[in-house]
Chain A
């Protein structure tokens, strides 16, 4: 079993829909990251969380430390949001473990 599990693996949405991507982990962590990778390959950090909730524009990330679970929400989705979204956790030693990613496609 992977230490970081994401769901769903693939997600297709219509423009304007509310989207949720989930991440569960089974190890102790110092922080959790949400990353975005566009088809061109570059990786951008969206959020780094150690507790609670963060918001940036139409993106919201939450984490529940007790349940070892995080969600990434996208409100009013747009075709430019189409990308792979990756959850990663930082262990206390400083190493990172990644989920396998969620491929999101938003149709106009």
Chain B
């Protein structure tokens, strides 16, 4: 089944404790991206990747790191989480066609930083 998976789905952590949220897709998509969703602010892009070893900042990259060493995986790293990073996080992927094709979203990761 074609899908984007994220782990963990729920995470409660404390300020300053490094964490990684994994994202994996099995569709051989070139494009992968991370978003956060907050009430009143909607969805905002954190980082995106056009292909292996290529990453770019979105609208809200501060406090986050990403890497794209393999095509299928795009982990999101919070080196020193803070309470303002409490949010719902989505990973997505798409085929990078001429007009950027539809996005396939993961199920979301709800992160709480105390």
Genuine A/B complex: yes
Assembly CA distance A31 to B41 (angstroms): 22
Question: For residues 25 through 43 of chain B, which have their beta carbon under 8 Å from a beta carbon of chain A?
Answer: 31, 33, 35, 40-43
Which of B59, B104, B107 has a CB less than 8 Å from the CB of A95? B59
Q: Name B88's closest neighbour in chain A (CB-CB).
A: A41
Contact with B along A1-45 (1 / 0, CB 8 A): 000000000000000000000000000001101010000011111
Q: Is the CB of B41 within 8 A of A100?
A: yes
Q: Is the CB of B43 within 8 A of A31?
A: no
- Interface size grouping (class) on chain A: 20 to 34
Q: Contacts A33-B102, A33-B103, A94-B48 hold; do A86 and B56 have CB atoms under 8 A apart?
A: no
Which of B58, B90, B100 has a CB less than 8 Å from the CB of A43? B90
Q: Is the CB of A99 within 8 A of B42?
A: yes
Answer yes or no: A76 CB below 8 A from chain B CBs. no
Q: Contacts A45-B102, A94-B48, A94-B50 hold; do A88 and B88 have CB atoms under 8 A apart?
A: no
Q: Which residues from chain B contact A35 at a C-beta distance below 8 Å?
A: 103, 105
Interface centre among B33, B58, B100 (most CB of A within 10 A): B100
Answer yes or no: B80 CB below 8 A from chain A CBs. no
Q: Is the CB of A95 within 8 A of B48?
A: yes
Q: Name B31's closest neighbour in chain A (CB-CB).
A: A94
Which of B43, B96, B101 has a CB less than 8 Å from the CB of A88? B43
Listed in ascending order, the chain A residues whose CB lies under 8 Å from chain B are 30-31, 33, 35, 41-45, 47-48, 50, 86, 88, 90, 93-101
Closest 10 CB pairs of A and B: A45-B102, A43-B105, A100-B42, A98-B43, A48-B102, A50-B99, A90-B100, A31-B99, A31-B100, A96-B45
A-B contact pairs, 15 of them (CB 8 A): A30-B99, A33-B102, A35-B103, A41-B107, A42-B107, A43-B90, A44-B105, A48-B102, A48-B103, A50-B99, A86-B42, A94-B48, A94-B96, A94-B100, A96-B45
